[in-house]
Structure 1
């Protein structure tokens, strides 16, 4: 790890505060290029750095050698000792000017053409398949951390940060959106890579709708909105290890799933089928990123 971030990188602007603290756009004094700086203060052990953070950062650095086109580049990691118990770790990423949320908002009416949505989805799934093959679960995929370059290249950002920042997160009163969360996360059950596929399904629908698919105000409200669309899962599919039970929602939807084309009218037949495979309640039956890339939807057009 490099020792000091302040010398080489000159902050230019604040580009947003999220769950991971303030993010700065900065200029690399050596190359002149713009970067994004994300810092976290971590509690340190006797040797000066928490091992878990070192491990997570090493994993992110290892990914760099693959140089994947749909994953944001981690260019540098700097550690600055603040006190005996605390170290400031700064992750230096390539800077991309806009995220998918901005990109969708800027699209003139009636929204993105279907061929463009297909292209964005293919790139998103390529990035995700790469992360998943390296055993990285993003955990917080949403339009704000999917970056889109001016040439239309999709790059996933903020993956791996959830684990690096998890101790620190407990201290920040930031409201984290529930809208892209998978049912197993909302139910506080065990989870793995399928959570990212659920989020991707929500984002897929949003590209057509130009507004989020499920806008819940609490975990229970979010689940209710999900079941209104996909139907209430059967008791056998409900995870056993959770406080909220299936019967807590029984008043909600005696009907089955509502036709997905009612919720996302512009989507094609194959697109609707792929979307439903992503928005499958049981994570073990949800489609994987690799299998999604082989779906007939991507042969359309």
Structure 2
């Protein structure tokens, strides 16, 4: 599959029961102005939007309209509201993506459930691809692992939630610094010097910015957050017997002997 194919969802899925045909510039729910597409999955598309009320950018996930997708989205909203409640009560959970709002959109293909999230950077998978076979620096691996495990501890113990789909695609990168503009300007120069010395196509600017932070000793400014609770379930109420992406599937799931929170830890270990 080419990079273009990875970025482009199947046009045939824009049909009754499928994706909502979003137009750049349109305003969703009288509040969120669409800027660009940032991703897509089997259940939904995700869009970079500007909140015209709070004057900030965020991500809007628009789910397919078929009933089973709407039900899944409503389950995800319940889980995310639990996370928000636990976050306020415990003053914890900074390694879980922040859920901001939800609304329903009536489009050409009936009703679509929409979820609004804070805007984060690229996925861990994109960062890993940028490093190729060499892999991420060990200091980076340790930092990411610590934060993923901290996020899972919060989900498991404070929220009683099993994520069920931990993988690099669902770990998003964020930058914690008051000097973001300065570092991005430095990264432009660093990346140009880097491209002058290598052959092959350039990768995304945001990924190269993160690479710049790693290779200039500023990895401590990077954070990661667990995203996509679309397949998550309550500890006491599993939604499905078969969970997890195959490469990250826990042994107990493969054997069909039942699963709980340790399944997420197995998936985390598989990422390493």
Q: 2:55 aligns with which of 6, 14, 32?
A: 32
CA 1:63–1:77 in structure 2 vs 1: closer, same or farther (change >3 Å)?
farther
CA 1:197–1:35 in structure 2 vs 1: closer, same or farther (change >3 Å)?
same
The separation in 2 between residues aligned to 1:162 and 1:119, in whole angstroms, is 25
Q: 2:252 aligns with which of 157, 176, 184?
A: 184
For structure 2, the residue ranges without an aligned partner over 5 or more in a row are 1-26, 176-220, 234-239
User: Contact 2:250 / 2:263 at 8 angstroms: preserved in 1?
Assistant: yes
The separation in 1 between residues aligned to 2:256 and 2:148, in whole angstroms, is 26
CA 1:79–1:127 in structure 2 vs 1: closer, same or farther (change >3 Å)?
same
Structure 1 match to 2:222: 152
User: Contact 1:5 / 1:78 at 8 angstroms: preserved in 2?
Assistant: no
Structure 2 match to 1:6: 29
- Give 1:94 deviation, angstroms: 0.7
Q: 2:168 aligns with which of 127, 143, 148?
A: 143
CA 1:97–1:55 in structure 2 vs 1: closer, same or farther (change >3 Å)?
closer
CA 1:51–1:14 in structure 2 vs 1: closer, same or farther (change >3 Å)?
closer
The separation in 2 between residues aligned to 1:156 and 1:23, in whole angstroms, is 16
Structure 2 match to 1:114: 138
**Higher radius of gyration, 1 or 2:** 1
The separation in 1 between residues aligned to 2:255 and 2:42, in whole angstroms, is 21
CA 1:21–1:96 in structure 2 vs 1: closer, same or farther (change >3 Å)?
same
User: Contact 2:162 / 2:261 at 8 angstroms: preserved in 1?
Assistant: yes
TM-score (norm 1): 0.53
Does residue 102 of structure 2 align to residue 77 of structure 1? yes
For structure 1, the residue ranges without an aligned partner over 5 or more in a row are 45-49, 165-169, 171-175, 205-301
User: Contact 1:100 / 1:147 at 8 angstroms: preserved in 2?
Assistant: yes
User: Contact 1:99 / 1:144 at 8 angstroms: preserved in 2?
Assistant: yes
The separation in 2 between residues aligned to 1:53 and 1:69, in whole angstroms, is 18
User: Contact 1:64 / 1:73 at 8 angstroms: preserved in 2?
Assistant: no
Return the structure number with greater relative CO, CA threshold 8 A, min gap 6. 2
State the aligned residue count: 184
Across the aligned residues of Structure 1 and Structure 2, the Cα RMSD in angstroms comes to 3.3
CA 1:23–1:116 in structure 2 vs 1: closer, same or farther (change >3 Å)?
same
The separation in 1 between residues aligned to 2:107 and 2:134, in whole angstroms, is 51
CA 1:74–1:42 in structure 2 vs 1: closer, same or farther (change >3 Å)?
farther
